[in-house]
């Protein structure tokens, strides 16, 4: 039997330097806890918290409202795309965005919002 011994063939996925640099397997991640401003859209750009801090386009977004008051969200900073009430979450596994905008609806209240994007 001839051919190449597969145990001796170098594979790109066995080399950590190539895996980190390969765009096909590159993984971006973003997580932040925020308190949005009252009646003003506040932009939260998705910046990689891994190695580079560069902006990226998400493949999925999760936003959770841990506060008692509602918070509006938008993907363009103009249109209200939805409102998250106390304890609600936006889970979108197919949303390609580079940022999200949030706006607090209640004066003098602490809105703790958690945002994940990857």
Q: Identify the architecture of domain 28-117 in CATH.
A: Sandwich (2.60)
Give the pLDDT score at 74: 96
If DSSP states are collapsed to H, E and C, what string results for 68-81? Answer: CCCEEEECCCCCCC
One pLDDT digit (tens) per residue for the chain, 118 residues: 455 555 555 554 455 554 444 444 456 788 889 988 788 899 999 988 876 778 888 889 999 999 888 999 999 999 999 999 999 999 988 889 999 999 988 766 667 899 999 8
What is the phi/psi pair of residue 55, to 5°? -70, 155
What is the phi/psi pair of residue 100, to 5°? -140, 150
Q: How does the average pLDDT of the chain come out, rounded?
A: 80
């Amino acid at each position: 039997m001839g051919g190449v011994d597969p145990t001796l063939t170098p594979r790109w996925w066995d080399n950590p330097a190539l895996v980190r640099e390969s765009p096909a397997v590159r993984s971006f991640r973003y997580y932040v806890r925020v308190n949005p401003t009252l009646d003003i859209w506040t932009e939260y750009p998705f910046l990689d918290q891994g190695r580079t801090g560069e902006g990226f386009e998400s493949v999925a977004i999760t936003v959770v409202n841990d506060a008692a008051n509602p918070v509006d969200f938008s993907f363009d900073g103009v249109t209200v795309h939805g409102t998250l009430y106390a304890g609600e979450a936006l889970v979108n596994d197919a949303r390609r965005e580079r940022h999200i905008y949030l706006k607090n609806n209640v004066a003098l209240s602490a809105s703790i919002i958690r945002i994940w994007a990857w």
